[in-house]
Amino acid sequence: MAETRSELYQKFDLRHFLSGRANEIGLLAAILVLYAFLAVFASNFMTLPNQLNILRDAAFVGIIAWGMTLVLISGEIDISVGPHVAFAGVLLASLAQSGVPLPVAALVVVVLGALIGCFTGFLRAFFDVPSFIVTLALWLGLRGTAQVMSDAVPIVIMDFSFQRFGAGSLLGIPTPAIIMLVLFVAFSFVATRTVFGRSVYAVGGNAEAARLSAIPVARIRILVFAITGALAALTGILMASRLGSGNSGAASGLEFDIIAAVVVGGTSLFGGRGTMLGTLFGVIFIAALVNGLVLLGVDPFAQGIVRGVVILVAVMVNIISIKRMRGRM
Amino acid sequence: MTEPLVQMRGISKAYPGVVALRDVDFAIGRGEVRALLGKNGAGKSTLVKILAGVERPDEGSILMDGAPVSLRTPMDGIKAGIATVHQELSVVPELSIAENVFLGRWPKRGGGIDWRAMEREAHAALEVLGLDLDPRQPVARISVAQRQLVEIARALRQGARLLILDEPTSSLVAQEAETLIRVVRRLAEQGTSVIYISHRMDEIRRVAQSLTVMRDGRHIATTAVGDVTNRQIVEMLLGSTQAEGEVVRSAPAKRSPLLSIRGLEVAPRIQDASFEIRAGEVLGIAGVLGSGRTELLQAIAGLRTIDSGSMTLSGSDFRPASLRDARANGIFMTPEDRRGEGAVMMLGIDENLVMASWGSVSRGGVIDRAAMREKVTASIRALGIKLAHPSEPLGNLSGGNQQKVVIGKALNAAPRILLLDEPTRGVDIGAKRQIYQLMRKAAEEGLAVVFVSGEIEEFCEVCDRVLILRGGSITAEVEGEAIRTETLSELTTGEQGVH
């Protein structure tokens, strides 16, 4: 019996294998092309310090991007993460200033971050407020709170050993990059191997079918926002550590870099589809692109144009592939 | 005999890896209503797509009025007077009826649309179909059946001489289906030819003069409707080897009361329903659409608030407070709308199968892959699903196989009572038979299977007992050999059947 049992699965089907990973394979090819181009035309791009720099920059996008991937797969969106990072940094710094030990302050910031996420998820799940609207309100409110708390002046954190987290390295690898990669492994596992992860896909793919299958839809929705809120707070702590201060103007526009990375990575804005590996590639692609444009000496304004075009092309490829998939149904 | 309106000769069509049509001949006369039957994949949709100019044949020729025509694009089809009304309607809900009738060809006057002429002509076009509606109201406000008629009116305005109706009654209420059948008959009298694709035998007998059966891309038979029995048709559809056996009903002694319901009231449709669900039987609930059959199932499944009444589950009081509560007590319902509510089309077949029973294939929230694969493989075997790979998206499967997955998901949740709302809707005859077999097997294994269907003849094929739901309560109960289409039809509508 044992040999017949999983024979359905053992039958290796190359076409099935490739079609399931077409997105990741395409992205990997795009990254290779980008790297080849920059290696030739941008001096210093392929040096080790520069690659480590890319990794460090990637971390400030990547850590939140794991949570954002879950949010998008569940059919939602969270645009409040940029201001959330700034708010978390300012809160940490002002707690530290008033004498709270840094580890305790960090814990408070992360827990509060998760609670803010819960709030978004709660309004979405129980009052059907679109998550775009709730997080738009938070986008305004969190940045505003950070500015009020700090008078829009950076609050310096006096503990210099704290700077190791954001600016330091471990075995030569930037600490934030290590945190990002550890979390990547954890989130890949959550997304593919846990009941919660698969339920996120089910809710985003067809919330009504998920509900009728007794999947706790409301709880799933609240959790994805809570996770993303906690990750935004963590990124805020790392950013405060890197800057040595809590800055209400930090992480401006970060939310769009993150959403762009997730979407470039093949996650559907309509929910139900996406992978952590795709997001990792999306994060690396965008970090390398940004870094390369700087090294090439491209005018900062023109950089915006290039990034805009790249994101648009990626989203179009995504939509076209969804249509193809629907066509087969 | 007069010359046929359309003649297709020696049509063949192959797609990569599949031969859809093999040397098919097909002809239809003026004013003829022809039923076209076949399982999914039998080639009927390819055949009508070729007629509509959507697909081009590899071989063969098409003649209209005896002269060869070339139908290379959908526009060619429309110009030749061939129009298709699909299951999924192509009306614009926000626009008015008149605008929809004239969609894209609005009569102009000066620089703008000639509203008055358009509304007048639209009203006239609808009157031909026996529909009296204000052409100025938006299509969003009229029923699905009326929208269908609007689409037919549009086709006729474009000069259609051959109308292809693809399962036109699949989403209609019984009464609405009647109206449609009358319209089709009237059109035929006026000389329009109709190809009528449907799986419903009783309907075909009433609307069509002749029928064509296709199987495996071949033309199997074309005959006058009166010349064949339902059984012969099914044999032709399935190939003689697969023809049905008699219904094997379970012995009444093996059935034991499981859930008894007294004086159930569920606003607004169920007023005072009392009945019993027994383990080991397939129980049918028959009623016209709007009789509250879906609501009744939903109330038992914890999806609707019960206003009053009492329920006893295996001897103790029970009132499902929520879906989870019902689930915890072994009650599971599969919804009518497979695509919208039944399953997640983007996810793998395997995940859909275990979606309602994650607890049995996971530990501490982490999926046990080996256990999941074992369970999925067993399910796929038991359900007889044909697939390329267990983790391919569910949306790749045919409707019948998708439905089997939805039922499989329910069975994997190990229910005691399985409530199936229209499980055979929109699936072909072969898949229907397999779904009946699944229901019988579940009953044999001791489940109580409750089956709701809008097609009365289905009850005869699978049920041990049928309840008649009418006016909000159970008005009759039919058991065993007494379950016959005519009987049920009279009991549900209170009228003599048309049979």
| pLDDT tens digits, one per residue of B38-70 | 877 788 888 999 998 888 999 999 999 989 999
**Residue A282 CB neighbours (<10 A):** 29
- Which member of B323, B369, B396 has the closest CB to residue A329? B396
Mode of pairing for the β-strands spanning B6-15 and B59-64: antiparallel
Half-sphere exposure at residue B98, Cβ-oriented, CA atoms within 13 angstroms: 18
Q: Is ipTM beyond 0.90?
A: no
Per the CB < 8 A criterion, the answer to whether B403 and B345 are in contact is no
Type of residue found at B26: F
- Four-residue CA torsion sign, A23, A29, A35, A37: negative
List C-alpha distances in Å: B133 to B128, B129, B171, B360, B475: 12, 11, 21, 55, 36
- A202 and B323 in contact by Cβ < 8 A? no
**Strand-by-strand arrangement of the B59-64 sheet:** B18-28, B6-15, B59-64, B67-69
H/E segment holding residue B10: strand B6-15
Q: Measure the CA–CA gap between B407 and B349, rounded to whole angstroms.
A: 12
Closest to A265 measured CA to CA, from A166, A188, A202, A195: A188
Please tell me the distance in Å from B420's CA to the nearest CA on chain A.
13
Q: Which residues 6+ apart lie within 8 Å of B10 measured at CB?
A: B23, B24, B25, B59, B60, B61
Q: Which residues 6+ apart lie within 8 Å of B362 measured at CB?
A: A194, A195, B368, B371, B372
- Tokens at B54, concatenated: 């959507």
Split at pLDDT 50, 70, 90, the class of A185 is very high
Closest to B30 measured CA to CA, from B162, B211, B212: B162
Q: Measure the CA–CA gap between B289 and B176, rounded to whole angstroms.
A: 10
**Helix ranges restricted to H, B395-484:** 399-412, 429-444, 457-462
Rounded to 10 degrees, the C-alpha dihedral A190/A193/A194/A196 comes to: 60
- Which member of A5, A16, A198 has the closest CB to residue B377? A5
Q: Check residue A48 and give its pLDDT.
A: 93
Q: Check residue B74 and give its pLDDT.
A: 85
Q: Check residue B176 and give its pLDDT.
A: 79
Helix axes A254-264, A81-97, angle to 10 degrees: 130
Please tell me the distance in Å from B405's CA to the nearest CA on chain A.
13
**Residue of chain B with shortest Cα separation from A19:** B392
List C-alpha distances in Å: A253 to A84, A203, A292: 11, 28, 19
Split at pLDDT 50, 70, 90, the class of B179 is confident
CATH number belonging to domain B6-241: 3.40.50.300
Type of residue found at A144: G
When pLDDT is averaged across residues A16-39 and rounded to a whole number, the result is 82
Q: Check residue A113 and give its pLDDT.
A: 97
Q: Check residue B40 and give its pLDDT.
A: 73
Judge whether residue B481 has pLDDT over 50: yes
Q: Check residue B250 and give its pLDDT.
A: 65
When pLDDT is averaged across residues B115-120 and rounded to a whole number, the result is 88
Mode of pairing for the β-strands spanning B256-266 and B270-279: antiparallel
- Which member of B345, B392, B409 has the closest CB to residue A213? B409
- B344 and A6 in contact by Cβ < 8 A? no
pLDDT tens, residue by residue, A232-273 = 999 999 999 999 999 999 998 899 999 999 998 989 888 998
**Residue of chain B with shortest Cα separation from A18:** B392
Q: Measure the CA–CA gap between B196 and B33, rounded to whole angstroms.
A: 7
Judge whether residue B241 has pLDDT over 90: no
Judge whether residue B119 has pLDDT over 60: yes
**Residues of chain A with C-beta less than 8 angstroms from the C-beta of B323:** 211-212, 214
Q: Which residues 6+ apart lie within 8 Å of B289 measured at CB?
A: B173, B174, B454
Cis ω on the peptide bond leading into residue A103 (within 30° of 0)? no
Domains and CATH numbers, chain A: 40-328 (1.10.3470)
Domain with CATH 3.40.50.300 in chain B: 6-241, 252-493
Bridge-partner residues for B18, per DSSP? Answer: B15
Q: Measure the CA–CA gap between A36 and A314, rounded to whole angstroms.
A: 19
Specify the long-range contacts of residues A290-299, CB closer than 8 Å, at least 24 apart.
Answer: A290/A57, A291/A45, A291/A50, A291/A53, A291/A54, A291/A57, A292/A34, A292/A37, A292/A38, A292/A42, A292/A45, A295/A38, A295/A42, A295/A43, A295/A44, A295/A45, A295/A50, A296/A38, A296/A41, A296/A42
**Residue A252 CB neighbours (<10 A):** 14
Q: Measure the CA–CA gap between A275 and A192, rounded to whole angstroms.
A: 9
When pLDDT is averaged across residues B120-124 and rounded to a whole number, the result is 90
Q: Check residue B50 and give its pLDDT.
A: 92
Secondary-structure class of domain B252-493 per CATH: alpha beta
Percentage of chain A lying above the pLDDT 70 cut: 91
pLDDT tens, residue by residue, B71-105 = 888 888 888 999 988 877 788 888 899 988 888 77
Quickly list DSSP for B207-250. Answer: H-SEEEEEETTEEEEEEEGGGS-HHHHHHHHH-GGG------PP
pLDDT tens, residue by residue, A192-231 = 999 999 999 999 999 999 999 989 999 999 999 999 999 9
- Which member of B324, B355, B392 has the closest CB to residue A202? B355
| A288 or B496, higher pLDDT | A288
Does residue A106 come out as left (phi exceeding 0), alpha (psi in the -120 to 50 range) or beta?
A: alpha
Judge whether residue A329 has pLDDT over 60: no
Indicate the length of chain A as a whole number: 329
When pLDDT is averaged across residues B244-262 and rounded to a whole number, the result is 74
* Residue-averaged pLDDT of chain B: 87
Judge whether residue B174 has pLDDT over 80: no
* Total-model pTM: 0.79
Q: What angle do CA A33, A35, A40 make, to 5 degrees?
A: 100
Residue to mutate among B294, B323, B344, B411, with most A CBs inside 10 A, is: B344
The DSSP code for B445 is: T
